[in-house]
Amino acid sequence: MIQSDKEADLPDQEDKLSTAANPKNGLSQILRLVLQELSLFYSRDVNGVCLLYDLLHSPWLQALLKVYDCLQEFKEKKLVPATTHAQALSHEARRKLIYEKAKHYHKEYRQMNRTEIRMVWMARRTGNFYVPAEPKLAFVIRIRGINAVSPKVREVLELLRLCQIISGTFVKLNKASINMLRIVEPYIAWGYPNLKSVNELIYKRGYRKINEKRIALTDNSLIARSLSKFGIICMEDLIHEIYAVGKCFKEANNFLWPFK
């Protein structure tokens, strides 16, 4: 009879042990469950004295468990401002990093401009001509439809992401891309953008492409969420990568929705 009672209580004991092993439960709850099980075990022993039952319901143990619960609650409340402060420090550090990057890029652009002017003046003084480097970036705008055109032209326009009239994209200039531009030349207009044009296009008409949705670039976090693995965390990083045609130009350009 006693054996059958113990077998009947096995599922309840397993449930209580799994509850006690749950890491989400506090130490006080686990102690209560363990002491309760021990007290019930000793209460079934007719030969023993139920000392643990008295221990479980003793006033000093109940007071100790209440003090522990209060300490845990106070500790959790105290950790909330600390987490918020850590987030604030991270935000301030991120803002400082973005400011330093913008400052570095501004210095780089100014140095490039001064170098260009100095080379022109040096060539003039010696009676020569200064030939600037070939541009690496182009901005292409589609100006005509594709009705009654060859499939090759349609394919090139799709590769350039010019699916609508009066839409524009940045293109990295190389031998292959120049040949593509020549194929669709009657349907497009293109040129070489300067820093001011790239800056205004991205700031005023820049939209991101995420899950085939067109969302305005209103916050640096939108850029960092998709391009942080490429070292692009803000608008200045994106502008620099496009204008300088960096190593991650393809990812940065595909991140932008075609301009309208």
Buried residues in 202-227 as b, exposed as e (16+ CB within 10 A): beeebbbeeeeeeeebeebebbbebb
The reported pLDDT for the residue numbered 59 is 67
Segment 95-150, tens digit of pLDDT: 888 889 899 999 999 999 999 999 999 999 988 888 888 999 999 999 988 787 88
Domains and CATH numbers, the chain: 2-57 (no CATH), 137-255 (3.30.1390.20)
3 state DSSP class of 63 = helix
> Rounded to a whole number, what is the largest CA-CA distance in the chain?
117
Structure confidence at residue 5 as a pLDDT band (50, 70, 90): very low
Segment 23-57, tens digit of pLDDT: 445 555 656 665 665 555 555 544 444 555 565 56
CA 54 to chain CA mean position, Å: 57
How many residues in total does the chain contain?
A: 260
3 state DSSP class of 190 = strand
End-to-end CA distance of the chain: 84
- What percent of the chain has a predicted confidence (pLDDT) above 90? 40
242 versus 71: the higher-pLDDT residue is 242
Measured in degrees and rounded to the nearest 5, phi and psi for residue 170 equal -85, 145
Q: What is the DSSP letter of 46?
A: S
**What is the residue type of 254?**
N
Say which residue the tokens 């891309």 belong to. 177
